[in-house]
């Protein structure tokens, strides 16, 4: 008999996201919050705007989270978190951490003004965007995080999205906040370490997590982690950190970069694409990767 490898548990065992929540099967956003809260612990308050997690959390007065939750308006995740943090400090509580937890619609689009303002002030909050690349909670509508060529209900097969995904990470780097990072549910230790690092830094922190959505991506629930891993291995979604808007650190060095087609073919939202469209997406991914490498080596 071949010897089986022993798995080493490196993340805390405490769970602050309860079972029986309302997430869909294979929900990447559900895993993302589990890992972040393992890093932050119970001395945390979270502000959730309109998004999938506003539903996943459960109907009032119930909540699947073992921490205080403040549900707020779609555009106000960052400003609400700023207010909660200021209120805590006014009563002498300097230990409780505050997280703004929003989807890509509430970050790239509707909430970008309050996020930019909080970053400009360098408010002491962590803002996490779990990015499932569309307005999934309201029926899979296109957002500015939706990638080129993707099907959504507002970019149907005959008229797929023909604009590139907004570079929210470059926008946040331009604010020169103390810390920002990209992360993936397929690399939980990396996400956990980044959350711990953010927890110990004062000022505005921003973590961008790719969170596959089987419902909106038309993929199998059991492929969620596989898709998140392929996104990194194809360099579609690189893992890196930025400190003070200038110091770039690459966290995952790709040895044998996979073709973007391996990532796209598992998702029904790209099934309509012709070979020339896939080649154009590959070229876009390669350009973005080269641009990132120049930032990493420039320092």
Q: What is the rounded average pLDDT for all residues in the chain?
A: 95
Confidence at residue 136, expressed as pLDDT on a 0 to 100 scale: 97
Mean pLDDT of 239-248: 97
Higher pLDDT, 4 or 192: 192
pLDDT digits (tens, 9 = 90+) for 67-95: 999 999 999 999 999 999 999 999 999 99
**Structural domains in the chain plus CATH codes:** 28-298 (3.40.50.970)
3-state secondary structure the chain: CCCCCCCCCCCCCCCCECCCCCCCCCCHHHHHHHHHHHHHCCCEEEEECCCHHHHHCCCCCCCCECCCEEECCCCCHHHHHHHHHHHHHHCCCCCCEEEEEEECHHHHHCCHHHHHHHHHHCCCCEEEEEECCCECCCCCECCCCCCCCCCECCECCCCCCCCCCCCHHHHHHCCCCCEEEEEECCCHHHHHHHHHHHHCCCCCEEEEEECCCHHHHCCCHHHHHHHHHHHHHCCCCCCEEEECCCEEEECCCCCCCCCHHHHHCCCHHHCCCCHHHHHHHHHHHHHHHHHHHHHHHCC
Confidence at residue 253, expressed as pLDDT on a 0 to 100 scale: 87
Confidence at residue 1, expressed as pLDDT on a 0 to 100 scale: 40
Confidence at residue 214, expressed as pLDDT on a 0 to 100 scale: 98
Percent of the chain with pLDDT over 90: 92
pLDDT digits (tens, 9 = 90+) for 262-298: 999 999 999 999 999 999 999 999 999 999 999 997 6
pLDDT digits (tens, 9 = 90+) for 32-77: 999 999 999 999 999 999 999 999 999 988 999 999 999 999 999 9
């Amino acid at each position: 008999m071949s010897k089986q490898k022993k798995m080493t548990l490196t993340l805390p065992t405490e769970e602050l996201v309860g079972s029986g929540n309302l997430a869909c099967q294979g929900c990447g956003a559900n895993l993302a919050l589990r890992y972040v809260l393992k890093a932050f612990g119970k001395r945390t308050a979270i502000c959730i705007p309109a998004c999938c997690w506003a539903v996943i959390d459960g109907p009032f007065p119930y909540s699947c989270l073992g921490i205080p939750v403040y549900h707020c308006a779609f555009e106000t995740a960052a400003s609400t978190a700023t207010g909660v943090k200021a209120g805590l400090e006014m009563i002498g509580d300097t230990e409780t951490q505050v997280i703004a937890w929003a989807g890509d619609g509430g970050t790239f689009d509707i909430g970008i003004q309050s996020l930019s303002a909080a970053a400009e002030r360098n408010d002491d909050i962590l803002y996490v965007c779990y990015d499932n690349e569309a307005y999934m909670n309201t029926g899979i509508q296109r957002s500015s995080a939706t990638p080129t060529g993707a099907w959504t209900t507002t970019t149907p097969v005959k008229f797929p999205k023909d604009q590139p995904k907004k570079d929210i990470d470059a926008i946040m780097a331009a604010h020169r906040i103390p810390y920002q990072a990209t992360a993936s549910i397929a690399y939980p230790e990396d996400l956990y370490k980044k959350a711990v690092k953010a927890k110990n830094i004062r000022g505005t922190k921003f973590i961008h997590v790719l969170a596959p959505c089987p419902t909106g991506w038309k993929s199998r629930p059991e492929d969620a982690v596989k898709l998140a891993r392929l996104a990194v291995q194809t360099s579609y979604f690189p893992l890196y950190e930025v400190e003070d808007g200038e110091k770039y650190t690459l966290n995952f060095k790709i040895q044998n970069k996979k073709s973007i087609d391996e990532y796209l073919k598992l998702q029904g939202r790209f099934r309509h694409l012709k070979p020339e469209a896939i080649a154009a997406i590959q070229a876009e991914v390669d350009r973005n990767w080269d641009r990132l490498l120049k930032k990493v080596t420039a320092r």
